[in-house]
Amino acid sequence: MPVAVVQTKTATISTSTATHPVTFNASVSVGNWVVIIWRQGTANRSPGTPVPSAGTWSGVQDFLASNGTNAGRIYCFSAQQTGSGTDTYTITLTGSNAGTGVIQAYELSGVDATTPRGSSGTQTPASSTSWKVIATPGITLTDGDLIIGAGGENNANWGTLTTPSGFTTRLNTNTSPATSTWVGENATAGSGIEGSATITNSRVVYSGYQVFLQSGGGGGGSAAKNLLLLGVGA
């Protein structure tokens, strides 16, 4: 069964608060996967895991820009929904801090529940007008597999951002409180998928991604099975 995007939802936190909720239009079905990508627009804030729990948040990643602050941070959480389905997930900033930000949430069906979802790491940014969601040599994606990628930078806008090649844009915000954030996915089979893109203004851009393999087959090659993380382009 191919991985399918059942629904997505975006929430912008435009006032300074410690709780950041995102509410889907419909409850997530038990057995489907929940992916929550949180982007802060306030420095030195760290999110707690989303509640209620959708199971074990096994795909937690922290994309942190190497500018010496936490202002350039994207977190990604993913888990298979267990127990009772719900439509609302809430992230609370640690230490009772308040902050602004943006959330992009996915519900996915057809995901192989035995496959690991992610890892953690710091991106390697470069000041340039071109960047990649996935670092060379990229990964192999078979028909029915899915990659979700995210990228960001700490300035007020990208200039003009082209959508990364092969990816579908789900979120592209260029203003405070989330500064600049891009989220999208790739469902095109192929090898060496990187998702190249350009911006008109030279920026330090950082990015990362998660791979979701289809249930009952496929597999995306050894690279996808090992769940690669990291990607930023020169």
**How many domains in the chain?**
1
What is d(CA 218, CA 220) in angstroms, rounded to the nearest whole number?
A: 6
Task: Please report whether residue 71 resides in a domain.
Answer: yes
Spatial contact of 42 and 16, defined as CB atoms under 8 Å apart:
yes
Q: Rounded to the nearest 10 degrees, how much is the dihedral formed by the CA atoms of 79, 22, 91, 224?
A: 30
Coil, strand, or helix at residue 47? strand
Give the tokens for residue 79. 């888990």
Q: Rounded to the nearest 10 degrees, how much is the dihedral formed by the CA atoms of 205, 43, 77, 130?
A: 0
What is d(CA 164, CA 6) in angstroms, rounded to the nearest whole number?
A: 22
Task: Please report whether residue 234 resides in a domain.
Answer: no
Domain that holds residue 115: 4-225
State the pTM of this model: 0.86
Task: Please report whether residue 80 resides in a domain.
Answer: yes
Give the tokens for residue 193. 């998928």
Task: Please report whether residue 32 resides in a domain.
Answer: yes
What pLDDT, in 10s, does the model give residues 133-185? 887 778 888 999 999 999 888 777 888 899 999 999 999 988 777 888 899 99
What is d(CA 36, CA 173) in angstroms, rounded to the nearest whole number?
A: 16
Task: Please report whether residue 186 resides in a domain.
Answer: yes
Task: Please report whether residue 214 resides in a domain.
Answer: yes
What pLDDT, in 10s, does the model give residues 45-60? 788 889 988 777 766 7
Task: Please report whether residue 233 resides in a domain.
Answer: no
Task: Please report whether residue 41 resides in a domain.
Answer: yes
What pLDDT, in 10s, does the model give residues 47-94? 888 998 877 776 677 776 544 455 667 888 888 888 777 899 999 988
